[in-house]
Amino acid sequence: MRPLVALGCGTLFGAGLTLSGMTDPARVLGFLDVLGSWDPTLAFVMAAALALSLPAVQWVRRHPRPLLDSQYFVPEQTRIDAKLLLGAVLFGVGWGIAGLCPGPALASLAAGVPEVLLFVVAMAVGMALRHLQERRSADARDAGSGS
Amino acid sequence: MLDFGLLSAVFGGLMIGAAAALFFWLNGRIAGISGIFGDLLFDRRSGHWPWRLTFLAGLLLGYLAIRAWRPELGEINLQSGPVGMIVAGLLVGYGTRMGNGCTSGHGICGIARLSPRSFAATGTFMLAAILTVALLRHSGVFA
């Protein structure tokens, strides 16, 4: 059942990204280009998404558990640290270069544009690099603590 | 003026918000795309790959559904060449893993949960992206 729900939610999410124009890098960069001929339309995407999801999520959290699972799966960290902010900076720079973020990039893979595939493969490589680096530093910590 | 572009932005946003809220209500999970994609690739111990795979497959289906309805909405006007796409993809992949999320996980789900980390991350990546576009388009260094 949960994979089916995920399929439905993913489809709705992908349709929303496409309908709103987030899958077109020209529109995204037009929104980010505040010094140029700024196109504020995409601000309405986030505003509308939050106008619905913010009250909905607050309502959901009043229930002890989700409908189809035993608990909510939310990040436990609360500290705003350098890792969070530096990661966000790197992501923002990449977003500003290509006009693609992960959701729209994956959704528009379906268009079969080679450059989008290139972006997604590079994104997977970037994730792998971070993954390896984190595993190596975890190993070093374990070695340092004598285990 | 209520033109089609504005209406489609609002309705698209409502669909994104509804998808995130439904996913949290039913499955109890964050609809963060970089997290779902990264964990599908690198979290092989757990049995979580089926829902991750179907969620991501849904993104493609959603794209195709809208494009079948109105082909112009599926337009992809690339803004950088192959080298730019590779550099951008590497930064987006590395950065979203390091910062635990992207536009969806922090910008929509995190803010909807009123997470201070997501407010900080969203402000930071928006600012970084705006500065990057300003530098690339208006500094005269790259144009």
Q: How far apart are CA B102 and CA B95, in angstroms?
A: 9
pLDDT of residue B139: 86
Q: Going residue by residue through chain A (147 aa), what tens digit of pLDDT does each one get?
A: 999 999 999 999 999 999 999 999 999 999 999 999 899 999 999 999 999 999 999 999 999 999 999 999 999 899 999 999 999 999 999 999 999 999 999 999 999 999 999 999 999 999 999 999 998 988 888 887 654
Task: Look up residue B106 and give its DSSP letter.
Answer: I
- Asked if B37 lies within 8 A of A15 by C-beta distance, the reply is no
Q: Does B35 touch chain A (CB under 8 A)?
A: no
Provide ipTM, 2 decimals.
0.95
User: A145: distance to nearest CA of chain B, Å?
Assistant: 24
**Where would I find the beta strands (DSSP E) of B76-137?**
none
Q: How far apart are CA B51 and CA A1, in angstroms?
A: 9
Name the residue ranges covered by the structural domains of chain B.
4-138
Chain position carrying tokens 């923002």: A92
Residue A99, amino acid: G
Averaged pLDDT, B112-135: 97
pLDDT of residue A99: 97
Name the residue ranges covered by the structural domains of chain A.
2-111
Residue in A closest to B92 by C-alpha? A91
Contacts of B1 in chain A (CB under 8 A): none
Which of A1, A12, A80, A109 has the most B C-beta neighbours within 10 Å, making it the best mutation to test the interface with B? A12
Contacts of B84 in chain A (CB under 8 A): 97-98
The residues pairing with B29 across neighbouring beta strands, listed in sequence order, are A73
Contacts of B102 (CB under 8 A, 6+ apart): A91, A101, A102, A103, B32, B33, B34, B92, B96, B125
User: A147: distance to nearest CA of chain B, Å?
Assistant: 22
Chain position carrying tokens 């992206």: B129
pLDDT at B1 over 80: no
- Asked if B12 lies within 8 A of A16 by C-beta distance, the reply is yes
pLDDT of residue A147: 47
Which of A54, A60, A77, A97 has the most B C-beta neighbours within 10 Å, making it the best mutation to test the interface with B? A97
* pLDDT tens per residue across span B6-56: 999 999 999 999 999 999 999 999 999 999 999 999 987 778 999 999 999
Q: Is residue B89 a contact partner of residue A90, using CB atoms and an 8 Å limit?
A: no
- Asked if A83 lies within 8 A of B98 by C-beta distance, the reply is yes
* pLDDT tens per residue across span B63-86: 999 999 999 999 999 999 999 999
User: B47: distance to nearest CA of chain A, Å?
Assistant: 12
Q: How far apart are CA B2 and CA A141, in angstroms?
A: 57
SS3 assignment, position A73: strand
pLDDT of residue B143: 58
Chain position carrying tokens 């349709």: A15
Our CA angle for A71, B30, A11, nearest 5°, is: 120
* pLDDT tens per residue across span A120-137: 999 999 999 999 999 898
The residues pairing with A73 across neighbouring beta strands, listed in sequence order, are B29
pLDDT of residue B45: 75
Contacts of B43 (CB under 8 A, 6+ apart): none
